Amino acid sequence: MYKTSFFKKSLLAVMAVFLYSCDKDFNAIGDGLVGDDHFGLESEKYDVLAFNQEVTPIQSNSMTPNALGIFDNPLFGTTTANFVTQVGLVSYSPTIGESPVIESAVLEIPYYSHVTATDNEGNSTYELDSIYGDKNGKLKLSVYESGIQMRTSYFSGGSQLPQFYYTDQNAEFNNKKVGARLNDGDILQNDEFFFDAKEIVIKTIDPDTKKETTERKKPQMTLQLNKDFFQSKILNAATTKLSAEDVFQEYFRGLYFNVERSGSNPANMALMNFSEGKVTIKYKAKTESTTDDANATEEKTIVLNLKGLSSATSSTANFLEDVRNPDFASAITTNVNKTDGDEKLYLKGGQGSLAVVRLFNPTDVLSYNSKGEPVSGANGVPDQLDEMRSNAVVKNWKVNEANLVFYIDADKMAGTEEPNRVYLYDLTNNAVLADYSTDASSTYGGLITVGSDKRGKNYKIRITGHIRNLIKDATAKNVDLGLVVSQSSSTIAFNALKNKNDIMSAVPRTSVMNPLGTILYGGKASIPEDKRLKLEVYYTKPN
């Protein structure tokens, strides 16, 4: 196996664009897959070595979306997702008024959802997206004041470095939460909380005109928060504490969301865009406009946004605690076969696992004479890549298309939700492949192919450009590839591992955001031919 980068300049240029997006991949299943019409072309198949790799604690700050809840997966185990976020005033140095008295403090965070029907009166029926586990699951939800100030950077050896937060830091934040639970509404907002798909309809009547007004909101998390806390923390705060963002972040360090099981109820998990969340404080106070009447007050509002006003990299963090199924745990730790490959490849998002994919037989590289013919190397045997390069030069074979097809273990995955997409990347250099750069949403592939039974059959990924680059440049190195589950086709950023290992130093962010998993067949010789992972290359061969 070759360990250094290929085609460095172009890949580094691509990675200079540190794209960040939340694309929930609501594409039609199978869209954008490479066509199977190869009329007039001849194909060759090549061996692929693939094995499992555990993902250890990983950077989880400043991602969108974030997971919240408990997801029980019979194949992979249970994941508990907690969350912390900074908050910021929409407007600093607010004029609160004299003798303020709070009326309500409400937290609102919209869910990802879509409309399925609308009646004649304008009432819409919604379905929630990105809900995992039992659709009727319940959670014990607790929102606390955070006791840890999340910083954007720190100094080490005279250098300023970015501050990362990791998936395994829940205990640290939980131990330093401040005070009692803030969500003190009815039981459905705390001990038996559930992700409600109902449209929110608010009707108000004007006291003067008696005209009724209807306001409609998409499904959202709506929590009544403790009024005494916000009366003290915001309305009675010293003016200086509300004067600027940096001062406010030190004063009010954020909100920590913690979930537990709700008795014997089944649980579930949602992906949420917390950055759209807000806390609305409504209160009454005496102002300049009410000074003529000693008892008169004015209704006022102060709004706090989650994540603050800045784009600071450390303003949020997702904590993921896993209790792994024993078979899954052993497959990605003790039973990994890096020499012959693994029969089954376990891909799991979050702090889960990925597959390391090595193309061709890792034998010695040959040198070439002036005619482009291979000259025997140390072992005297050309590997498959050497043969491909020789065929391109000597026989003028031209690569029209090259694909990897990963077949799903349908028996294992029966009755389990499958990821909609997988993502293949340059693991050695933490970079996208040339094919992804050309057209990530169309010809590159990675979307699941389903059969007539509506169950997944395989994931097909086109790597034509990658193979052409290896063939064209005899000095190009055959890097390790990584295969992960994917949440977003447009998110190409990488999140750092807390502790690097000899295989990798980072994992694609798109995988950290996805709680699902899948089991695929590897390239080991013991796997039936029709399920075995192979590299299939279609050539134009001159007569």
For 238-284, write each residue's pLDDT tens digit: 999 999 999 999 999 999 999 999 999 999 999 999 999 999 999 99
* Residue 485's pLDDT band (cuts 50, 70, 90): very high
| 369-375 CB contacts, 8 Å cutoff, 24+ apart | none
| pLDDT of 69 strictly over 70 | yes
More confident residue, 371 or 91: 91
Q: What is the predicted pLDDT for the residue at 39? A: 53
Q: What is the predicted pLDDT for the residue at 355? A: 98
pLDDT in tens, 416-438: 999 999 999 999 999 999 998 77
Q: d(Cα 180, Cα 145) in Å, to the nearest integer? A: 8
* Residue 383's pLDDT band (cuts 50, 70, 90): confident
| pLDDT of 173 strictly over 80 | yes
Q: d(Cα 280, Cα 222) in Å, to the nearest integer? A: 11
| pLDDT of 191 strictly over 90 | yes
Encoded tokens for 256: 């920590």
Q: d(Cα 343, Cα 337) in Å, to the nearest integer? A: 9
* Residue 51's pLDDT band (cuts 50, 70, 90): very high
Encoded tokens for 352: 């889960």
Percentage with pLDDT > 90 across the chain: 71
Average pLDDT over residues 436-461: 84
Average pLDDT over residues 397-412: 96
* Residue 209's pLDDT band (cuts 50, 70, 90): confident
Q: What is the predicted pLDDT for the residue at 410? A: 95
Residue 480 neighbours by CB under 8 Å, 6+ apart: 1, 3, 356, 357, 358, 426, 427, 428, 503
Average pLDDT over residues 223-243: 98
Q: What is the pairing mode between strands 159-162 and 153-156?
A: antiparallel
With beta carbons less than 8 A apart as the criterion, state whether 253 and 86 touch. Answer: yes
Helix (H, G, I), strand (E, B) or coil at 86: coil
| pLDDT of 187 strictly over 70 | yes
* Residue 292's pLDDT band (cuts 50, 70, 90): low
Encoded tokens for 290: 């009410």
Helix (H, G, I), strand (E, B) or coil at 327: helix
